[in-house]
Structure 1
Amino acid sequence: MFNYSNKTALITGASSGIGEAFAHSLAAKKCNLILVARNQVKLNALAAELSAAYKIKATVIVLDLSTSGASQALLHEVQKHHLKVDLLINNAGFATYGYFEQVSAERQHEEVMLNVAALVDITHAFMPDLLRNRDGGLINVSSTAAFQPDPYMAVYGASKAFVLSFSEALWAENRKRGLKVLALCPGATDTSFFDIVGSNEASVGSRQTPEAVVTNALRALEQGRSHIISGRQNYLVAQVSRFFSRHFTLGIVERTLRPRN
């Protein structure tokens, strides 16, 4: 089990989607929150709502995590509020879609910086907090895109494969040190993700609600699992690469994700 009451969870990308659903679920469990994202208006509204509804403390930190030095800026802000992090949820991230050379190089660089570099840096910055009482938790949001290369989403798929590998390595390092580590691998989820991607072709299968994804994630964390693929259909899709050649699997994925225009 994992005791949430009176602990503090830091959630990146907390202003919408899965991050917002984590905030609601954890507040209901009487967990204090540090909400991190770029949208101050949404964060303030969410913090006020959850504080009033559940009588918890919700601290807002407005920060662009894709910029250089963001992890140290985040650590400084948390320390300035005299807070310690018991549960870290690295949820912030985004995807790009299209032929690799046609997607902005700057945008893809930001994608790597947020999905990979920021996640690693933030985890490193708060690891002393998480290990402090031998009862910490770390959830890194990966994706079912981590289980095979993803044509037309090459950078996103590679970044999420990194998150899965990195998280499972930390799980193995820390499972006897009192720190629970989970890689959360959702499939298509009913969030603004595909609006940012700019194409519904990137959506494979039926979409789960963010609330369902979070419920599965917290249950898996409590069970001490190293990763969870949220949803039975998503689990089955992620197994394709185990039973067929990489060449065959890539053909299926390429046809599925191929731009329609």
Structure 2
Amino acid sequence: MVLPPPGPHRAALITGASSGIGAEIARELSARGHHVVLVARRTEQLTALAGQLSGPSSIVGADLSKPQDRAELPNRVAALGLEIDVLVNNAGLSTMGPVSGADPGAEMNVIEVDVVAVVDLCTRFVAGMVTRRRGAVLNVASVAAFGPLPGQAVYGASKSFVLSYTRALGEELKPSGIAATTLCPGPVRTGFGEAAGISNEEAEAALPKPLWVSPADVAKAAVDGLAASKPVVVPGRLNRAATAIYHLTPRRLLLPLLASQHPAFKKK
């Protein structure tokens, strides 16, 4: 199982491509010759990105929290004369704070984008890959996928779902020669944390500097891992070590430590 080669009418679809890791994955796939379909709400940022890419690209504005927008994606791609050989489910968001003070609508929106959209788009695009016996799926989770995350309970649980779902999907797709990889980055400076309510200063104080990996390095590790059919990619040697510790530490010790260090519980 390898990354499908570029070809006429073949494309890679990247959600959440307007910035951060999604934009860098688009750059990485474009540099490797793939026509990229850039999907996000902010089409003006997609247009700017498309002008910087080395290869062909298409822009599709869509709000992945809306079922109708997701349902229309396959037809919109088909109207471009393209088949999706590489699906990258990168779009995601988080809330922050204790569940007791959470806004129900915001929490459901996280689940809609981080969980439901991943399942929805995989269901819509993987069937064609199986028919063609050619394809690859990259679902973006987080190191938070490996255990509970007090302060971001819904986000951590959502990413755990993505990891479990993608592992199962990958096993199902082996007979068809289709790769499915979960990307689990640690801290990355993308603006994601600020959108959730965590300032750069708070994030950097809570997470040691050696754990931070650049978006470009994360994207390269992701595409290399997908090309090698790795089931899980954790960019950064120290993040991989931290993930192992995360697995091995008893939850009765780990959870109080995570809660004590999370910026959500340090705000007044």
TM-score (ref. length: structure 2): 0.91
Residue 221 of structure 1: aligned partner: 226
- How big is each residue's C-alpha offset from its partner over 1:139-177, in whole Å with a ceiling of 9 and x where there is no partner? 000100011100010000000000000000011111221
Does the Cα contact within 8 Å between 1:135 and 1:180 map onto a contact in 2? no
Give ranges in structure 1 of 5+ residues lacking alignment: none
* Structure 2 counterparts to residues 84-233 of structure 1, below 5 A: 84-200=83-199, 201=202, 204-206=207-209, 207-233=212-238
Q: Secondary structure at the match of 1:176?
A: helix
- The aligned amino acid for 1:15 is S
Q: Which runs of 4+ in 1 moved over 6 A?
A: none
Match for 2:102: what amino acid? V
| Deviation for aligned residue 1:9 | 0.2
Q: In the TM superposition, what are the counterparts of 1:65-76 in structure 2 within 5 Å?
A: 65-76=64-75
Identity %: 33
Give secondary structure in 1 for the equivalent of 2:234: strand
Q: Distance in 2 between matches of 1:25 and 1:244?
A: 35
How many residue pairs were aligned? 257
8 Å Cα contact 1:71/1:125 also seen in 2: no
What is the SS of the residue equivalent to 2:149? Answer: coil
Residue 6 (structure 2) aligns with: 5
1:12-31 alpha-carbon deviations (Å, 9 max, x no partner): 00000000001111111110
CA distance in 2, matches of 1:81, 1:42: 20
The correspondence for 2:41, drawn from 38, 42, 53, is: 38
1:25 aligns with 2:19: no
Alpha-carbon shift at residue 257 of structure 1 (Å): 1.1
* Structure with the larger RCO, 1 or 2 (CA within 8 Å, 6+ apart): 2
Instruction: Give distance in 1, aligned partners of 2:85 and 2:45.
Output: 24
Q: Distance in 2 between matches of 1:227 and 1:63?
A: 27
User: TM-score, normalised on structure 1?
Assistant: 0.93
Shift in alpha-carbon separation, 1:216–1:171, aligned structure 2, 3 A: same
What is the identity, as a one-letter code, of the residue corresponding to 1:28? A
What is the CA distance between 1:242 and its match in structure 2?
Answer: 2.8
Deviates more, 1:105-114 or 1:122-131: 122-131
Aligned to 2:248: 243
Q: Secondary structure at the match of 2:238?
A: helix
Q: Is the 8 A contact 1:12 1:36 kept in 2?
A: yes
Partner SS state of residue 85, structure 1? strand
Distance 1:2 1:40 in 2: 27
Q: CA deviation at 1:244?
A: 2.2
Q: Distance in 2 between matches of 1:3 and 1:162?
A: 26
Q: Which segment drifts farther, 182-191 or 225-234?
A: 225-234
